[in-house]
Structure 1
Amino acid sequence: MKEITVLELKKMIDNKEDFQLIDVRETFEYEMSNLNGLNIPLAGVILEASKISKDKPVIMQCRSGARSAAALNQLEQQLGYTNLYNLKGGILAWKAEFEPDMPVY
Protein backbone atom coordinates (compact mmCIF):
# COMPACT_ATOMS: atom_id res chain seq x y z
CA MET A 1 0.00 0.00 0.00
CA LYS A 2 1.31 3.40 -0.98
CA GLU A 3 1.14 6.12 1.67
CA ILE A 4 1.76 9.84 1.84
CA THR A 5 2.29 12.03 4.89
CA VAL A 6 0.30 15.11 5.82
CA LEU A 7 3.38 17.18 4.91
CA GLU A 8 3.34 15.73 1.40
CA LEU A 9 -0.42 16.35 1.13
CA LYS A 10 0.02 19.95 2.26
CA LYS A 11 2.66 20.49 -0.46
CA MET A 12 0.30 19.01 -3.05
CA ILE A 13 -2.48 21.38 -1.94
CA ASP A 14 -0.16 24.40 -1.81
CA ASN A 15 1.23 23.58 -5.28
CA LYS A 16 -2.32 23.16 -6.63
CA GLU A 17 -1.45 19.70 -7.94
CA ASP A 18 -4.12 17.71 -9.75
CA PHE A 19 -5.31 14.97 -7.38
CA GLN A 20 -8.48 13.79 -5.71
CA LEU A 21 -9.01 13.55 -1.95
CA ILE A 22 -11.54 10.98 -0.71
CA ASP A 23 -12.66 11.10 2.93
CA VAL A 24 -14.07 7.71 3.98
CA ARG A 25 -15.26 8.77 7.43
CA GLU A 26 -18.95 8.82 8.34
CA THR A 27 -20.93 11.89 7.28
CA PHE A 28 -21.22 13.26 10.84
CA GLU A 29 -17.42 13.11 11.22
CA TYR A 30 -16.91 14.83 7.86
CA GLU A 31 -19.37 17.59 8.80
CA MET A 32 -17.45 18.26 12.02
CA SER A 33 -14.14 18.84 10.21
CA ASN A 34 -12.71 17.96 6.82
CA LEU A 35 -9.94 18.74 4.33
CA ASN A 36 -12.38 19.52 1.48
CA GLY A 37 -12.26 16.02 0.04
CA LEU A 38 -15.20 14.11 -1.38
CA ASN A 39 -17.03 12.26 1.42
CA ILE A 40 -17.68 8.61 0.57
CA PRO A 41 -18.10 6.61 3.81
CA LEU A 42 -16.19 3.32 3.87
CA ALA A 43 -19.34 1.18 3.65
CA GLY A 44 -20.21 2.75 0.28
CA VAL A 45 -16.78 3.00 -1.31
CA ILE A 46 -17.29 0.11 -3.75
CA LEU A 47 -20.85 1.19 -4.62
CA GLU A 48 -19.68 4.76 -5.29
CA ALA A 49 -16.38 3.84 -6.97
CA SER A 50 -17.48 5.61 -10.18
CA LYS A 51 -16.86 8.90 -8.32
CA ILE A 52 -13.22 7.95 -7.66
CA SER A 53 -10.74 8.87 -10.38
CA LYS A 54 -8.55 6.24 -12.05
CA ASP A 55 -6.44 8.71 -14.06
CA LYS A 56 -4.86 10.91 -11.39
CA PRO A 57 -3.50 10.40 -7.87
CA VAL A 58 -6.21 9.71 -5.29
CA ILE A 59 -5.51 10.27 -1.60
CA MET A 60 -7.73 8.22 0.73
CA GLN A 61 -8.16 9.61 4.25
CA CYS A 62 -10.07 8.96 7.43
CA ARG A 63 -9.55 9.73 11.13
CA SER A 64 -6.35 7.77 11.73
CA GLY A 65 -5.57 5.92 8.50
CA ALA A 66 -7.18 2.54 9.25
CA ARG A 67 -10.50 2.93 7.40
CA SER A 68 -8.85 4.64 4.44
CA ALA A 69 -6.37 1.73 4.24
CA ALA A 70 -9.32 -0.69 4.19
CA ALA A 71 -11.03 1.35 1.45
CA LEU A 72 -7.82 1.48 -0.57
CA ASN A 73 -7.38 -2.28 -0.31
CA GLN A 74 -10.98 -2.92 -1.40
CA LEU A 75 -10.61 -0.67 -4.44
CA GLU A 76 -7.27 -2.19 -5.45
CA GLN A 77 -8.31 -5.81 -4.95
CA GLN A 78 -11.88 -5.67 -6.28
CA LEU A 79 -11.68 -2.97 -8.96
CA GLY A 80 -8.00 -2.88 -9.94
CA TYR A 81 -7.16 0.68 -8.87
CA THR A 82 -3.42 1.46 -9.05
CA ASN A 83 -3.40 5.22 -8.31
CA LEU A 84 -4.38 5.22 -4.62
CA TYR A 85 -2.45 6.56 -1.63
CA ASN A 86 -3.36 6.31 2.05
CA LEU A 87 -2.95 9.44 4.17
CA LYS A 88 -0.70 8.24 6.99
CA GLY A 89 -2.23 9.16 10.35
CA GLY A 90 -5.39 10.59 8.79
CA ILE A 91 -7.02 13.80 9.90
CA LEU A 92 -5.55 13.34 13.39
CA ALA A 93 -2.06 13.75 11.90
CA TRP A 94 -3.25 16.82 9.95
CA LYS A 95 -4.65 18.31 13.16
CA ALA A 96 -1.42 17.63 15.06
CA GLU A 97 0.76 19.15 12.31
CA PHE A 98 -1.29 22.08 11.00
CA GLU A 99 -4.57 22.79 12.82
CA PRO A 100 -4.41 22.03 16.55
CA ASP A 101 -7.81 23.66 17.14
CA MET A 102 -9.61 21.50 14.55
CA PRO A 103 -12.48 19.56 16.13
CA VAL A 104 -12.14 15.85 15.42
CA TYR A 105 -14.50 13.07 16.52
Structure 2
Amino acid sequence: MIYDKIITPLQLKKKIANEDELFIIDTRENTSFLKPIDSAIRLPASKIMEKLDTLPKEKPIILYCSHGVDSFFLMNILITEYGYTDVYSLKSGLEGWHKFIEKGAQ
Protein backbone atom coordinates (compact mmCIF):
# COMPACT_ATOMS: atom_id res chain seq x y z
CA MET A 1 0.00 0.00 0.00
CA ILE A 2 1.24 3.48 -0.84
CA TYR A 3 0.80 4.81 2.70
CA ASP A 4 3.33 2.22 3.90
CA LYS A 5 5.88 4.11 1.81
CA ILE A 6 5.99 7.16 4.06
CA ILE A 7 9.18 7.42 6.10
CA THR A 8 9.31 9.50 9.27
CA PRO A 9 12.16 11.83 10.14
CA LEU A 10 13.17 9.45 12.95
CA GLN A 11 13.29 6.46 10.58
CA LEU A 12 15.36 8.44 8.08
CA LYS A 13 17.74 9.69 10.77
CA LYS A 14 18.32 6.09 11.90
CA LYS A 15 18.98 4.94 8.33
CA ILE A 16 21.47 7.76 7.81
CA ALA A 17 23.15 7.02 11.16
CA ASN A 18 23.40 3.32 10.22
CA GLU A 19 25.01 4.40 6.95
CA ASP A 20 22.33 2.56 5.01
CA GLU A 21 22.78 3.00 1.29
CA LEU A 22 20.12 5.54 0.31
CA PHE A 23 19.41 7.80 -2.63
CA ILE A 24 17.87 10.94 -1.10
CA ILE A 25 16.33 13.46 -3.48
CA ASP A 26 15.35 17.06 -2.72
CA THR A 27 12.44 17.56 -5.14
CA ARG A 28 11.69 21.19 -4.25
CA GLU A 29 11.30 23.45 -7.27
CA ASN A 30 12.72 26.43 -5.42
CA THR A 31 15.09 26.08 -2.55
CA SER A 32 13.84 27.78 0.55
CA PHE A 33 15.79 29.09 3.48
CA LEU A 34 15.79 25.58 4.92
CA LYS A 35 19.07 23.72 4.62
CA PRO A 36 18.70 20.51 2.59
CA ILE A 37 19.43 17.12 4.11
CA ASP A 38 23.21 16.65 3.89
CA SER A 39 23.36 13.60 1.64
CA ALA A 40 20.52 14.68 -0.68
CA ILE A 41 20.88 15.47 -4.33
CA ARG A 42 18.84 18.29 -5.83
CA LEU A 43 16.43 17.15 -8.54
CA PRO A 44 13.29 19.29 -8.85
CA ALA A 45 10.04 17.38 -9.34
CA SER A 46 9.53 18.99 -12.76
CA LYS A 47 12.82 17.47 -13.97
CA ILE A 48 12.65 14.02 -12.39
CA MET A 49 10.91 12.30 -15.32
CA GLU A 50 13.71 13.49 -17.62
CA LYS A 51 16.23 11.85 -15.29
CA LEU A 52 14.50 8.50 -14.61
CA ASP A 53 17.44 6.62 -16.09
CA THR A 54 19.67 8.06 -13.35
CA LEU A 55 17.46 6.85 -10.49
CA PRO A 56 18.62 3.54 -9.02
CA LYS A 57 16.18 0.67 -8.67
CA GLU A 58 18.62 -1.34 -6.52
CA LYS A 59 18.63 0.94 -3.47
CA PRO A 60 15.99 2.85 -1.53
CA ILE A 61 15.00 6.26 -2.88
CA ILE A 62 13.83 8.84 -0.37
CA LEU A 63 11.97 11.82 -1.82
CA TYR A 64 11.24 15.02 0.02
CA CYS A 65 9.76 18.42 -0.71
CA SER A 66 8.87 21.29 1.61
CA HIS A 67 5.86 19.71 3.35
CA GLY A 68 5.65 16.12 2.09
CA VAL A 69 2.72 16.55 -0.29
CA ASP A 70 4.47 16.91 -3.66
CA SER A 71 6.99 14.18 -2.84
CA PHE A 72 4.13 11.84 -1.88
CA PHE A 73 2.46 12.32 -5.27
CA LEU A 74 5.77 11.89 -7.07
CA MET A 75 6.47 8.71 -5.10
CA ASN A 76 3.06 7.37 -6.12
CA ILE A 77 3.82 8.03 -9.80
CA LEU A 78 7.21 6.31 -9.60
CA ILE A 79 5.60 3.25 -8.00
CA THR A 80 2.41 2.94 -10.05
CA GLU A 81 3.60 4.12 -13.46
CA TYR A 82 7.33 3.37 -13.57
CA GLY A 83 7.69 0.18 -11.53
CA TYR A 84 9.82 1.49 -8.67
CA THR A 85 9.22 -0.48 -5.47
CA ASP A 86 11.78 0.83 -2.98
CA VAL A 87 10.79 4.51 -2.97
CA TYR A 88 9.57 6.55 0.01
CA SER A 89 8.32 10.03 0.81
CA LEU A 90 9.54 11.89 3.89
CA LYS A 91 6.62 12.60 6.19
CA SER A 92 6.09 16.36 6.62
CA GLY A 93 8.92 17.05 4.18
CA LEU A 94 11.93 19.20 4.91
CA GLU A 95 9.99 21.35 7.38
CA GLY A 96 9.15 18.24 9.40
CA TRP A 97 12.78 17.12 9.21
CA HIS A 98 14.05 20.43 10.60
CA LYS A 99 11.44 20.49 13.38
CA PHE A 100 12.50 16.96 14.32
CA ILE A 101 16.22 17.81 14.26
CA GLU A 102 15.71 21.05 16.22
CA LYS A 103 14.01 19.09 18.99
CA GLY A 104 17.28 17.25 19.48
CA ALA A 105 15.98 13.91 18.31
CA GLN A 106 17.82 10.98 19.74
- Report the TM-score when normalising by structure 1: 0.85
Instruction: After TM superposition, give the deviation of residue 44 of structure 1 in Å.
Output: 1.1
Partner in structure 1 of residue 15 of structure 2:
12
Q: 1:31 to 1:54 in 2, by over 3 A?
A: farther
* Aligned alpha-carbon RMSD (Å): 1.7
Give aligned-pair identity as a percent.
32
1:96 to 78, 82, 99: 99
Per-residue deviation, residues 31-68 of structure 1 (Å, max 9, x unmatched): 85200311111111111112211001111111110111
Farther off after superposition, 4-13 or 49-58: 49-58
Q: 1:6 to 1:16 in 2, by over 3 A?
A: same
Instruction: After TM superposition, give the deviation of residue 99 of structure 1 in Å.
Output: 3.4
Moved over 3 A (4+): none
1:83 aligns with 2:86: yes
Inter-partner Cα distance in structure 2 for 1:46 and 1:23? 14
Per-residue deviation, residues 16-35 of structure 1 (Å, max 9, x unmatched): 11111011002x41685200
**Uncovered stretches (5+) of structure 1, i.e. residues with no partner:** 101-105
